[in-house]
Structures are given as C-alpha cells and as structure tokens.
Amino acid sequence: MKGLERNPMVCNLAKVMLIATVVGVSAQKMCAQESAIPEIATERPAVGAAPEVVPEGMLQVETGVGIGYTKTSYVADFPESLARWGIGHRVELRLMSSNGVYQPNPDAGEKKLQSQDMAFGAKAGMAPANSIVPQAAVMMLNCPTGGAAYTSGTFDPSLIFVWQQIARRGFVLTENIGAVRSTAEDKRKTIWVPGIAVGHEVTHIVAAYVEYAPSFTAGESPIHIVDGGVTYRRTPDSQIDVKVGYQQDATGGRNLFSIGYSRRLDGTALASMYRGILSLAD
C-alpha cells in the first residue's frame, strides 16, 4: 500500500479524479441555478398588468408597435417600451418610455408625430397565486414629458393590484383592480381601471389569451377594450407576441393591432460588462 501511495501515476490519477469531481459538482450546481430561473413572463401584449416579477438581477425589455384604425383613419404608436429590472426576490423597478404617436391627419394645431408621457415605478410581489391577498401591486408615476395632445402637464400616480387563479389544463384567470389619478384641463380626476383576462398555455412555448380592460371616469363615457393575442416563446429569455382587439369610447370605435418582441438579459453580466468597458476606457 505504501508503494502505491508513493507511485506518481497513482497520485496524478487521484488528482485528476478529484478535479473531475469538483468540476462535475460545480456544473450540477450551475445547472440547478439556471433551471431555478423561470422562463420569461411578460405583460405584453395585454392591457392589464401581470403578477409575475422579473427575477433578481435580470433586465427585461418589452417593446412593440401598435395601431388603432377605422375605415377612414389610423393612429400608430411605438415603441411601446417597458423596461423591468429585478432588484430583489419579489421587487422590480419599471420604466415606461415615451411612446411616439403618429397621426396622419391631426387636429388643427397638432403635430403628426408626438410623444406620450413617460412613467416609472415598481412592482412588488405580495402573495402566491390562488390567494385572497393580491399576488402583486404595481405603482407608477406618470411624468409630464409628452407632446401637448398627450400629456397631462403634471405628475400622475397610479396603483393597480393583481390577482391570479391557476386552474386545470393550463388555464389562468388574471384580475386587475386599480386607479389612475389623472389631470385634464387643470382638474384632477380618478380613472378606475379594472380588468380580467383568461389565458391558456396551448403548448410549452405558445400561449393565448382574451381580455376585457375597461376604464371608468365619473361624469365621462367609459372606455371599453376587448382584445386577444398569442405569445410565442422563442427561448427561455425571449418572446414574440401579436394582438388584435377593439376599443369603444365617446368618439366611436376602432380596431386594434400590435406586434412585439421581449428579451430578458442577465443584469449582473451587463453591469460587469459596463464596468469592463469603463476600465478599458481609462
């Protein structure tokens, strides 16, 4: 036995086996960590909010192009961007960019291309699905950055609570209850924004939904939106979506259509890359 212990070949073989074991265990841990990260879950293309929170350290960008049209006119908006950054186990920061709105035939004094207000805020996970307590709360603050026809001219807060019930055979029911404190003609008003959506996982990578998302303001005609769409998850971190719908308000009805793309990135890796670029610049 002593001769074997002093044999260099045996010692080297033992070292190789030890290294292989350590590497194998490390690889298993990395795979377990990767599998623990859920697949991408977006709020596109629905109108209402979703209950999922972006995983900690991940940056998710959801963007698209939408159009509302009738037989005689249309209005397009882009890029419909929402950036979401997971900063905790159940908390994400949110930034909604100023959409560009194009009107080929604007009203007198208005421009063909204007921007909407941007908004920032956060989403907090509160409870599991199938609970009486809301699964998540979304808090946003609109900032007066838009064009004259699309800005309230002041800061407008909003708060939305989200519930979700997971049923059998891949069906999911999502409800929103919330309010937006808005400003028009120097008067503050509260807009109530309930909503309900039924989703179904058709396959592992394809899902579909239908939704009713109205809004109600005291003394004004309500806005009714009915829409439905399909999402296709290309990879665990990317998704393509398409939506069709119909909106009815005081000015009449219009058809809705949008298409979008969402991508989730490792925010920690991006931060390290940014620091590396800065160090190279120095």
Tell me: the pLDDT tens digits for 61-100? 999 999 999 988 888 999 889 999 999 989 999 999 878 8
Q: Is residue 108 over pLDDT 80?
A: no
Instruction: Note whether 216 and 234 are same-domain residues.
Output: yes
Instruction: Note whether 16 and 104 are same-domain residues.
Output: no
Residue closest to 39 by CA, chosen among 199, 210, 264, 207: 264
Tell me: the pLDDT tens digits for 129-177? 999 999 999 999 999 998 887 888 899 999 999 999 999 888 999 999 9
Instruction: Note whether 164 and 24 are same-domain residues.
Output: no
Residue closest to 114 by CA, chosen among 103, 128, 127, 101: 101
Residue 276's domain comprises: 37-281
Instruction: Note whether 12 and 67 are same-domain residues.
Output: no
Instruction: Note whether 67 and 119 are same-domain residues.
Output: yes
Instruction: Note whether 130 and 264 are same-domain residues.
Output: yes
pTM attached to this predicted model: 0.81
Cβ(60)–Cβ(84) below 8 Å = yes
Query: What kind and span of H or E run contains 36?
Result: helix 8-36
Instruction: Note whether 43 and 28 are same-domain residues.
Output: no
Instruction: Note whether 208 and 84 are same-domain residues.
Output: yes
Cβ(222)–Cβ(214) below 8 Å = yes
Tell me: the pLDDT tens digits for 209-246? 999 999 999 889 999 999 999 999 999 999 999 999 99
Instruction: Note whether 199 and 131 are same-domain residues.
Output: yes
**Total structural domains in the chain?**
2
Instruction: Kindly state the percentage of the chain with pLDDT values over 90.
Output: 63
